[in-house]
A and B are shown apart, each in its own frame.
Chain A
Amino acid sequence: MERRRFIKNIGLGSAGLISLTSGTWNDRRKKVTILHTNDTHSHIDPFPLNHSKYPGQGGVERRKMLIDQIREQEKNVLLLDAGDVFQGTPFFNVHGGVIELKLMSAMGYDAATMGNHDFDGGMDGFLNALPHANFPFLCANYDFRRTVLAGKTKPYQIFKKSGIKIGVFGLGVELDGLVSRELYKETRYLDPIKNGQMWASFLRHEEGCQLVVCLSHLGYEARLNDFSDKVLATETEDIDLIIGGHTHTFMEKAETWKNKAGKSVLINQVGWAGLMLGRVDFFFNDKDELDTVSLSNVNNNYCLV
């Protein structure tokens, strides 16, 4: 106990020093910026000017420009995608998804999950395009062991930004009834709620992640199946943010739900076709951390500034 208090005091002292040199309270708060897309569906160019709904909107150039701007302003940025990268313009029909993954790599995506349309080129089609992605595909509830994608995806990835550990994992929608069997072959579907809970707990408690993000292609609301982001949010714990997809739901900003343990969980989704860029900033505040008297708070706020 004594030692703990001692270290805390050192921490406080150091924090004081830092605050003297770095200015305001706000400057000392650590911030993790999550940027995200979903259901971009091979939309590389903006919609044509005669498009009936989104004339002139979207396009990868604009997305990259905004991402680059934010990266200049923010230190700790993660760029994520919640699936359905493929299918929707002739780019996919002609090139099989190669250019989509090359562009995501050029924009600096950190991770993505697979949507149902990412199976549209078959397992071989995805496998052939995959070398053009310099980021991992995270799939925690597709068992690919009996397919050519065995070992090509992983359930989760941990990122460290200014010492904050961020665990990201991916959940996909049930393929039966949505994708032809010839395309997904021997892929086994695993319960997304059970598996989501398992990986979220693992990331939070075993790996000690301060932020747990789920890339979900389950859909905001259940349509023809039983699972959705709302169900995932309310029936699990240990997830901080669900980045959704599949239902092409446009949201202005993330919304807050209460998880199984009564804690906040955010859901955010940005429509489709790369028309929007989603953003959630998380702040790690040392005042709050000291109140909770957790050693990791010292790490968050003093060791790792």
Chain B
Amino acid sequence: MKSVFFSGLFLVLGSCTSASYTDYDSQNTTLDSTYNSNELEELIEPYRVEVNQQMNSIIGFTDSALTAFKPESPLGNFVADILFDYVMKKQTRPFPDLKAENIMVMLNFGGLRAPINAGEITIGSVFELMPFDNTLEIVRLDSTGFMQLMDYLYQSHGQPVSNARFELTESKRKALISNQEVDLKQPIYVCTSDYLAGGGDKMDFLKNAKIKWNSGILLRTIFIDYIRRINQIDPVQIDGRMKISR
């Protein structure tokens, strides 16, 4: 009865200006093992079976976890070094003048989506690390582009690189490729992902480069093949390849 009366009153009053709340409370909750049920498993199960079939295959082993952090990290070095190894081992080179002395690898920390945990490495681990269907791309930079690359590395507090060493401060840009001073009169090749080559993460210096070559090979496939071949991953060191001081 009451509610009928009150809703009648609401209608009479018609459109009214809106009031707002007078007080609030907020508390976010971490979902740890305090909360548990298995109500959703029935829904998930058929999807899980198919995922597991594809993902649970073991491809290698690591004693220590590989994690990512700036400016330089074991995971960043590991994946960048795999790509450098891949490009150097390829029988055919997309550019005739491409050699160890003028190519470096650069990825982005944002693209490494999960650490590789200690223990068995499965196909699923690599999917979690690199869920995107990104392909390997090589971009040719001129000196302007390479200076912009160093500015980007400085401003973004470092990114995963291979075959290169950087010492960057506000006023100084120092780079070695294959442990040699970079010759800015010659082109420099950057091996990266198609996402970054297309200007992803605002890497405009890659987007603006005129000469690029796409391998069509998924980065994930390159990682999986490498880990399968090596099987036991040696501990990955931080070797000071990315030194940034502010």
Interface residues of A (CB under 8 A from B): 7, 10-11, 14, 18, 32, 41-42, 44, 46, 48, 50-53, 56-66, 87-95, 98-99, 102-103, 106-107, 120, 163, 165, 176-181, 204-205, 208-211, 224-225, 240, 251-254, 266, 268, 270, 274-285, 287-289, 292, 294-300, 302-305
Contact = CB atoms under 8 A, between A and B. Distances in A.
A295 B18 CA distance: 9
A220 to B, nearest CB: 14
B65 A52 contact: yes
B9 A298 contact: yes
Contacts of A281: 24-26
B119 interface: yes
Interface stretch (B29-37, B98-106, B142-150, B176-184): B29-37
Contacts of A89: 124, 127-128, 131
26 contacts: A51-B117, A58-B31, A60-B44, A61-B40, A62-B34, A64-B37, A65-B36, A89-B124, A90-B127, A165-B18, A177-B201, A209-B18, A210-B18, A210-B20, A253-B28, A268-B26, A276-B29, A276-B30, A277-B28, A279-B27, A280-B26, A281-B25, A283-B22, A284-B21, A289-B19, A299-B10
Given A163-B10, A210-B20, 12 more contacts: A7-B9, A50-B118, A61-B36, A88-B113, A90-B55, A177-B202, A266-B26, A275-B30, A297-B19, A299-B16, A303-B6, A304-B6
Nearest to A165: B18
A44 B124 CA distance: 14
B51 A296 contact: no
Nearest to A291: B22
Interface stretch (B167-175, B192-200, B233-241): B192-200
A289 to B, nearest CB: 6
A16 to B, nearest CB: 13
A107 B35 CA distance: 15
Contacts of A274: 31
A50 B131 contact: no
B127 to A, nearest CB: 5
B31 A93 contact: no
A64 B44 CA distance: 13
